């Protein structure tokens, strides 16, 4: 018996719910299509109810539910075929099917995974969300990183100075993608986590708002809490305001929260008022949670880590080089590295040099070496295009495109880059490599020339190049040998179930 064609029914449903542009995502349970719509009020309930193949329409759980019956899977496939796979959420669909099966008396399949496997799956899901949120902007970050590197090179060779108008304008061009990263990632993470992209972009704008940035970077405080400066207050409650520019993790956490908060708000706010009051309360609630809890929590953790790393560095430089080199870029993933920057700044301001920055420089080189190996090894055009740009960006001091675009996405490459960074950090410690400026990676080589007041000479610069060569060889060699193969890309494309942090029934 031929399978029934539901193409026309799918087309009619899409048309009468407001078209493709009104759809955020679609899942299904065992009898219903469950749409997440941008505006449920424009859906034509009476028309859809009378379509041949539709039993009823329901508004529930923040969803627009079209009751189909036993043919729901076939109708769902037909609808997704017209909307596009980006509107599907297979994890949420599976959860909804299991929930409705249980409600109907069917036993839910037991989760036989071990605790360790659950932790591993959860971590993989988190990494998947982070890389998935960053992938749409990796090319932009690579381009911006290259521009920032060229501008720094112009300063190092005295072709311009940071106070010139030309420098300021070009710096804005290169820096804006990083400065406003919470806005950009708020939008992309929301699409990944099924919250409202525009609302999350607005929340990102709240985090980098100039007045809040001034508070975070200012010196005025009213006290301290667990070592954090209390630099502002909200309704009289003293809080620690964090500088959110260049950050991604707080806004991704916000996008995850917003998904559930939006569903909850839609349960309690009458539909006629949702268009205004859902965004209003969502912006207020999510922004407040990030500012009061998430940002300070990240500061607290990163401050503890920076204290530990500083203690290791003071204990033994080679050991510190090995440990910090191996783990530093892992801190970058979660934005925990920002508390280390003040240590470097303080060292350079008070002493005129920073051993810690010399180690950090090797981690940048290692990330670049790993993606360079992938660029030369891969036969896939899209991978070569991305890894080539990411390598250049890393060698001029911007590692985000390497991390989020390639190395973290394909797992082993991030590990092999970290091995190379650990080797480079160890050699830096053994050779007592020092750094006299902020700019690292290969483009930062002028920062390793020893100033006359510290004795001058070329030995430190030579040692920098030795450590850099070791980092390049180890990271490149390990990545080439076992860090990446083109089959990794093909294997990822074959994965049907997209891992995500947020699920809803």
Express each pLDDT in 442-494 by its tens digit: 999 999 999 888 898 899 999 999 999 999 999 999 999 999 998 887 655 44
Distance (Å, whole) CA 24 – CA 415 = 36
Query: Hunting for tokens 């003293």 — which residue is that?
Result: 238
d(CA 8, CA 197): 30
Q: Which of 465, 437, 462 is nearest to 365 (CA)?
A: 465
The answer to whether 197 and 187 have CB atoms below 8 angstroms apart is yes
Give the tens place of pLDDT for each residue, 380-424.
988 998 999 999 999 998 898 999 889 998 879 999 999 999 999
Nearest in space to 477 (alpha carbons), one of 439, 431, 434, 423: 423
Count CB neighbours of 109 within 10 A. Answer: 9
Residue with the bigger pLDDT between 98 and 473: it is 473
Which tokens sit at 265?
Answer: 């708000």
Residue 504 is predicted with a pLDDT of 45
Please, what is the Cα angle at 325 between 322 and 328, to 5 degrees? Answer: 135
Report, as an integer, the average pLDDT of 37-58.
Answer: 89
3-state helix, strand, coil in the chain (%, to 5): 70, 5, 25
Give me the residue label for tokens 């360079």.
372
Q: Is pLDDT above 90 for 169?
A: yes
pLDDT value at residue 100: 62
Question: Residue 2 pLDDT more than 70?
Answer: no
Using CA atoms, how far apart are residues 138 and 12, in angstroms rounded to an integer?
38
168 pLDDT tier (thresholds 50, 70, 90):
very high
pLDDT score, position 108: 45
Per-residue confidence band for 497, with pLDDT thresholds at 50, 70 and 90: very low
Cα–Cα distance for residue pair 178/141, rounded to 1 Å: 7
Angle between helices 249-268 and 271-289 (to 10 degrees): 150
Residue 436 pLDDT class (50, 70, 90 cuts): very high
This prediction has a pTM of 0.68
Sign of CA dihedral 283, 284, 286, 288: positive
pLDDT at 90 over 80: no
Note the pLDDT of residue 104: 55
CA distance 50 to 203: 40
The mean of the pLDDT values for the chain is 87
Q: What is the pLDDT at residue 498?
A: 41
The DSSP letter of residue 292 is: I
C-alpha 379/C-alpha 314 separation (Å) is: 45
CA pair distance 371, 485, nearest whole angstrom = 12
Give the span between the Cα atoms of 17 and 412, in whole angstroms: 44
The packing angle between helices 295-315 and 317-333, to 10°, is 160
Tokens of 282: 């969502």
Closest by CA position to 246, among listed 383, 80, 132, 134? 134
Q: Where does 209-354 have alpha helices with state H?
A: 210-217, 249-268, 271-289, 295-315, 317-333, 341-350
Q: What is the pLDDT of residues 306-329, one digit of tens each?
A: 888 889 999 999 999 999 999 999
Query: Who has greater pLDDT, 256 or 5?
Result: 256
Name the least confident of 105-114, 296-305, 462-471: 105-114
Helices (H), 87-209: 90-103, 115-134, 138-156, 165-179, 181-193, 197-207
Lowest mean pLDDT segment, chosen from 71-80, 150-159, 194-203, 330-339:
330-339
Q: How far apart are CA 487 and CA 244, in angstroms?
A: 37
CA dihedral 467, 472, 478, 484 (to 10 degrees): 150
Return the structure tokens found at 141. 């970050």
pLDDT, position 503? 46
Query: Torsion over CA of 315, 319, 322 and 327, rounded to 10 degrees?
Result: -40
Kindly indicate the confidence band of residue 434, based on its pLDDT and cuts at 50, 70 and 90.
very high
**pLDDT above 90 as % of the chain:** 54
CB-count burial class (<10 Å; 0-12, 13-18, 19+) for 453: exposed
pLDDT(119) > 60: yes
Tell me what pLDDT residue 287 has.
Answer: 97
With cut-offs at 50, 70 and 90, classify the pLDDT of residue 333.
confident
Q: Does position 502 have pLDDT exceeding 70, yes or no? A: no
In the predicted model, is pLDDT for residue 91 greater than 80? no
Q: Which helix (H) or strand (E) holds 229?
A: strand 228-229
pLDDT of amino acid 348: 85
Residue 54 to residues 5, 65, 96, 204: CA-CA distances in angstroms?
14, 11, 19, 40
Closest CA to 348 of 420, 431, 444: 444
Q: Can you tell me the mean pLDDT for 3-27?
A: 90
Question: Collapsing DSSP states into helix, strand and coil, what is residue 455?
Answer: coil
Q: Which residue has the higher pLDDT, 21 or 490?
A: 21
More confident residue, 504 or 75: 75
Q: Let me know: does 405 contact 138? Beta carbons within 8 Å.
A: yes
Contact 153, 443 (CB under 8 A): yes
Mean pLDDT value across residues 98-116 = 59
8 A C-beta contact, residue 273 and residue 323: no
| Tokens representing residue 300 in the block | 């607290």
Question: What three-state secondary structure class fits 403?
Answer: helix
Q: How far apart are CA 335 and CA 377, in angstroms?
A: 30
pLDDT digits (tens, 9 = 90+) for 217-237: 998 999 998 888 999 999 999
**Residue 134 has what pLDDT?**
85
Strand partners, 57: 66
């Amino acid at each position: 018996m031929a399978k029934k064609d539901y193409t026309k029914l799918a087309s009619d449903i899409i048309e009468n719910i407001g078209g493709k542009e009104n759809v955020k995502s679609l899942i299904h349970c065992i009898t219903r299509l469950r749409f997440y719509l941008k505006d449920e009020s424009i859906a034509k309930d009476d028309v859809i109810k009378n379509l041949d193949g539709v039993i009823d329409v329901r508004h529930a759980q923040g969803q627009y539910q079209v009751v189909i019956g036993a043919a729901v899977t076939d109708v769902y496939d037909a609808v997704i075929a017209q909307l596009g796979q980006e509107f599907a959420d297979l994890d949420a669909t599976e959860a909804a099917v299991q929930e409705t099966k249980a409600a109907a008396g069917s036993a839910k399949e037991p989760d036989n995974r071990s605790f360790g496997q659950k932790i591993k799956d959860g971590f993989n899901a988190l990494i998947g969300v982070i890389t998935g949120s960053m992938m749409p902007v990796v090319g932009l970050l690579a381009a911006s990183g290259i521009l920032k590197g060229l501008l720094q090179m112009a300063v190092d060779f005295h072709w311009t100075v940071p106070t010139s108008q030309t420098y300021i304008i070009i710096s804005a061009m290169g820096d804006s993608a990083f400065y406003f990263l919470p806005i950009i990632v708020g939008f992309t993470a929301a699409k990944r986590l099924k919250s409202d992209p525009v609302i999350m972009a607005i929340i990102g704008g709240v985090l980098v708002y100039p007045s809040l940035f001034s508070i975070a970077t200012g010196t005025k405080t009213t006290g301290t809490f667990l070592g954090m400066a209390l630099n502002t207050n909200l309704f009289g409650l003293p809080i620690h305001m964090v500088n959110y520019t260049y950050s991604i993790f707080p806004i991704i956490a916000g996008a995850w929260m917003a998904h559930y908060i939006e569903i909850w708000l839609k349960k309690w706010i009458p539909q006629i008022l949702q268009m205004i009051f859902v965004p209003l309360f969502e912006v207020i609630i999510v922004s407040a949670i990030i500012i009061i809890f998430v940002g300070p929590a990240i500061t607290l953790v990163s401050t503890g880590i920076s204290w530990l790393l500083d203690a290791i560095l003071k204990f033994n430089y080679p050991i510190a080089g090995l440990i910090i080199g191996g783990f530093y870029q892992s801190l970058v993933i979660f934005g925990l590295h920002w508390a280390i920057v003040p240590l470097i700044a303080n060292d350079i301001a008070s002493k005129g040099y920073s051993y810690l920055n010399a180690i950090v420089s090797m981690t940048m080189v290692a990330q670049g070496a790993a993606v360079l190996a992938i660029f030369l090894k891969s036969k896939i055009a899209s991978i070569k295009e991305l890894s080539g740009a990411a390598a250049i960006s890393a060698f001029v001091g911007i590692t985000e495109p390497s991390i989020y675009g390639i190395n973290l996405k394909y797992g082993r490459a991030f590990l092999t880059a970290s091995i190379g960074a650990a080797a480079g950090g160890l050699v830096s410690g053994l050779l007592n490599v020092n750094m006299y400026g902020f700019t690292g990676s290969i483009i930062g080589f002028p920062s390793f020339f020893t100033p006359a007041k510290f004795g001058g000479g070329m030995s430190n610069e030579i040692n920098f190049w030795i450590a850099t060569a070791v980092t390049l060889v180890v990271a490149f060699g390990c990545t080439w040998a076992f860090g990446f193969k083109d089959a990794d890309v093909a294997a990822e494309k074959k994965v049907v179930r997209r891992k995500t942090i947020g699920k809803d029934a």
